[in-house]
C-alpha cells in the first residue's frame, strides 16, 4: 500500500485470507472499470486459458492505473467477476506479480453466469487512492 493507505484487521471478524478486510486511504479516488482479457487492439487473449486471461487483465489494470497516475501500490479494492471460481488460483498468481501478499487490498469475488462475450472467463475492476 502507498503512504496514503492503511490496512486494518477489525476485532471480532475472522482473519482474512487472500485479501484485507479494511483498507483506508486519503487522497484522490481512482475507479478503474472492469477490465477484460483484450489486447491493445481489442482482440481476446487466452481463449479457454484462465492464466493467460488473468495476466492480460492485470496488465490492462496496470495500464489504466498508470493513465490515472496510480500504481498497484495505490489499489485499495479489487472486484473479481469470474465465470467459474476454479479460475481464482490463476487470478491470484497474476495478482502476485503486481501486489505482494503483505499488502493485499480489500476484495470481493463474484461468480457470474456469463460476461459480455462467451470467451471471457473473468473481468476485474479496481479502486485506488492516490496521495
> Which residues on neighbouring strands pair with residue 38, listed in sequence order?
44
The total number of structural domains in the chain stands at 1
Strand stretches in the chain, DSSP E: 5-8, 22-25, 28-35, 75-82, 106-111, 122-130
Residues 25/127, Cβ–Cβ less than 8 Å: no
In the prediction, which pLDDT does 18 show?
85
Within-domain flag for 93: yes
Q: What does the pLDDT look like over 37-72, one tens digit per residue?
A: 999 999 999 999 999 999 999 999 999 999 999 999
Within-domain flag for 89: yes
In the prediction, which pLDDT does 22 show?
86
Question: Looking up cell 486519503, which residue turns up?
Answer: 26
CATH number of domain containing 66: 3.30.1330.40
Written as one string, the DSSP assignment of 21-37 is: SEEEE-SEEEEEEEE-S
Which residues constitute the domain of residue 30? 26-130
In the prediction, which pLDDT does 1 show?
59
Amino acid at each position: 500500500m502507498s503512504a496514503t493507505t492503511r490496512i486494518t484487521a477489525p476485532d471480532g471478524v475472522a482473519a482474512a485470507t487472500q485479501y484485507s478486510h479494511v483498507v483506508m486511504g486519503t487522497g484522490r479516488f481512482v475507479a478503474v472499470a472492469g477490465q477484460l482479457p483484450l489486447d491493445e487492439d481489442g482482440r481476446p487473449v487466452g481463449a479457454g486459458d484462465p492464466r493467460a486471461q488473468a495476466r492480460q487483465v492485470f496488465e490492462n489494470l496496470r495500464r489504466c492505473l498508470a493513465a490515472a497516475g496510480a500504481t498497484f501500490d495505490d489499489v485499495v479494492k479489487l472486484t473479481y467477476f469470474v465465470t467459474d471460481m476454479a479460475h481464482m488460483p490463476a487470478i491470484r498468481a497474476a495478482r502476485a506479480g503486481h501486489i505482494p501478499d503483505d499488502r493485499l487490498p480489500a476484495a470481493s469475488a463474484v461468480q457470474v453466469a456469463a460476461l459480455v462475450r462467451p470467451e471471457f472467463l473473468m473481468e476485474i475492476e479496481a479502486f485506488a487512492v492516490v496521495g
